[in-house]
């Protein structure tokens, strides 16, 4: 593997899931592979799971880890040809090349602004690192994608399914703030590749990017969509068409134990209790959110291992 910025960077999904489960059984099997190699993790935005699980994954492989909260560094300029006489002190062209001298792999988290769809879809920050860095790049959640989360989700479903082809439903939920579509986008793309019966339910008008959802069935009736589901993945996203807006906060879309039934409950976390999902679900025996978060380590570890194998 040369990089992991999009799900398409995985050449064999079933193999990588199997390899991740093997790593989980023996996390230190390759503890010398990363000796004298360094991972630099750059955070333009907050994180709990991604930060800690990726650091743990790298250390399980014997790597050194450096973490930079980008807000603590010089303001970066991403546009070409700018007269840098305002707030930006350093151009990404120099920054990416400099960091490449200090690290063997660079991992980046950079959320969308959610005000300019075209700019967000250009993945300016992630693509600038891909363009100007001379080492492999890992996406720790970008403007439009969260492929490490999606890989952890695929591992979790593969481990916990009791059926050859489980029914998986992605269900929108209300939220008071405008959230990115990244987690939902990557989950959709991952489920399209996994052997599952997959559908999406959300209020009318909350369609994700049609270039991502493609032919995935969409049902505006949540109750109907959830019928006989084996896994229900709950996530809020802000409006894609009326870009970045919060147009619906209908509490009737919150996930409840009654609606969930016997299905397993998934969420990437962090989650707002009793807004996105009621306490009874998160505290109930069908919630697998903690297992999901645990698999973030092994998703990151198998990705780092495959990149290290290729260095
Ligand atoms: N799910 C996820 O990416 O969690 P963090 O935002 O805490 O990293």
Is 147 in contact with 9 (CB distance < 8 Å)?
Answer: yes
**Nearest partner of 229 among 263, 266, 192, judged by Cα:** 263
42, 45, 47, 294, best to mutate for ligand 1 pocket (most atoms within 8 Å of CB): 47
Determine the distance separating the centroid of ligand 1 and the alpha carbon of 148, expressed in angstroms. Answer: 10
The predicted structure's pLDDT at residue 103: 98
Q: How much is the pLDDT for 263? A: 98
**How far is the centre of ligand 1, averaged over its atoms, from the C-alpha of 86 (Å)?**
32
Which residue matches tokens 């090349």?
Answer: 97
Residue 269 labeled ligand binder: yes
Residues of the chain with pLDDT under 70: none
For residue 55, the model assigns a pLDDT of 98
Burial class from Cβ neighbours inside 10 Å (0-12, 13-18, 19+) for residue 182 reads buried
Helical (H) or strand (E) element with 24: helix 13-25
pLDDT score at 199: 98
Assign 199 to helix, strand or coil.
Answer: strand
- pLDDT value of position 284: 97
ipTM above threshold 0.95? yes
Residue 80 CA to residue 226 CA, distance in Å, equals 48
Q: Give the predicted TM-score (pTM) of the model.
A: 0.98
Ligand 1 within 6 A of 149 CB? yes
Query: What does the block give as tokens for 190?
Result: 């991952």
Tokens of 108: 């980046």
- What was the pLDDT predicted at 231? 98
Sign of CA dihedral 263, 264, 266, 272: positive
CA of 49 to the centre of ligand 1 (A): 5
Beta-carbon contacts of residue 149 (< 8 Å; ≥ 6 apart):
50, 141, 183, 186, 187, 268, 296, 299
Per residue in 275-311, pLDDT (tens digit) is: 999 999 999 999 999 999 999 999 999 999 999 999 9
The per-residue pLDDT for 14 is 98
How many other CB atoms are there within 10 angstroms of residue 307's CB atom?
23
Before 270, cis peptide (omega within 30)?
yes
Specify the pLDDT at position 79: 95
């Amino acid at each position: 593997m040369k990089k992991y910025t999009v799900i398409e960077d995985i050449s064999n999904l079933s193999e990588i899931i199997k390899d991740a489960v093997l790593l989980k059984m023996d996390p230190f099997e390759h503890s010398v592979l990363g000796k004298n190699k360094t991972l630099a993790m750059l955070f333009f935005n907050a994180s709990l799971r991604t930060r800690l699980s990726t650091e743990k994954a790298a250390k399980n492989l014997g790597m050194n880890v450096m973490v930079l909260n980008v807000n603590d560094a010089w303001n970066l300029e991403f546009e070409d040809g700018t007269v840098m006489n305002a707030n930006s002190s350093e151009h990404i062209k120099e920054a990416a090349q400099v960091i490449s001298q200090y690290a063997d792999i660079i991992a980046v988290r950079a959320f969308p602004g959610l005000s300019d769809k075209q700019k967000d879809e250009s993945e300016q920050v992630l693509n600038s690192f891909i363009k100007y860095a001379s080492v492999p790049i890992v996406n720790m959640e970008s403007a439009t994608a969260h492929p490490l989360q999606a890989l952890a989700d695929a591992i979790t479903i593969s481990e916990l399914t009791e059926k050859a082809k489980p029914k998986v439903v992605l269900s929108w939920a209300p939220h008071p703030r405008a959230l990115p579509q990244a987690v939902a986008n990557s989950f959709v793309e991952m489920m399209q590749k996994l052997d599952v019966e997959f559908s999406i339910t959300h209020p009318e008008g909350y369609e994700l990017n049609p270039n991502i959802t493609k032919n995935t069935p969409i049902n505006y009736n949540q109750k109907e969509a959830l019928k006989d589901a084996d896994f229900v993945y709950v996530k809020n996203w802000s409006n894609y068409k009326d870009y970045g807006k919060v147009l619906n906060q209908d509490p009737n879309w919150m996930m409840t134990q009654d609606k969930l039934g016997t299905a397993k409950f998934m969420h990437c976390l962090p989650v707002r209790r009793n807004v996105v999902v009621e306490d009874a679900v998160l505290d109930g025996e069908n919630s697998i959110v903690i297992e999901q978060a645990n698999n973030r380590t092994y998703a990151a570890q198998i990705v780092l291992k495959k990149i290290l194998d290729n260095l």
